[in-house]
Amino acid sequence: MKKTIKTVAIILIGFVVTTGFMISKSSYLTPEGKPEGSPWLCPDKNAKMVCQVKPDEGILATGKDVWNTHCKSCHGKTGQGNGVKAENIDISCGDFTSARFVNATDGELYWKTTEGRKPMPSFKLKLSDIERWSVVLYTRTFVKKAKNATDKES
């Protein structure tokens, strides 16, 4: 009888130590410290696609709506990759104000938004062409917003 209690106790301790280790290991990852996904190359002809939609007030309002409904949860309110769902994703969602995104063509952002890549969903069927172009144009406003914020600080 005593032996059984001892065995159960050992198993329990082992379980607690293992889960404790796993939890501390996962909480160690911060949004900034996460690795980037493997290179995600956009086909040339898609990258060269020119946006036919003009970023007027209406289009940017549509883009903002789409962003807040479908993208913000992972990419964050202003595209810095710090949305609430990002906590549970083990790679970085990227930063729309970083050089890599700024230098990407509209066509490339549009293609990646359309296709998605796990864990990011595809928006081919969820959003119309205009909605996808609108959200791409809306993401271009994040750089200006980030710059205004730093100007105010300094």
For residue 2, the surrounding DSSP H or E stretch is: helix 2-27
Binding segment for ligand HEC (CB under 6 A), chosen from 2-10, 26-34, 51-59, 104-112, is 104-112
Q: At how many degrees (to 10) do helices 141-153 and 129-139 cross?
A: 20
Residue whose token pair is 């917003």: 145
Contact 52, 133 (CB under 8 A): yes
Upper half-sphere CA count for residue 87 (Cβ side, 13 Å): 4
Binding segment for ligand HEC (CB under 6 A), chosen from 1-9, 24-32, 119-127, 145-153, is 119-127
Binding segment for ligand HEC (CB under 6 A), chosen from 4-12, 15-23, 24-32, 117-125, is 117-125
Contact residues for ligand HEC (CB under 6 A)?
A: 37, 40, 66, 70-71, 73-75, 85, 89, 91, 93-94, 104, 109, 112-113, 117, 119-121, 123, 135
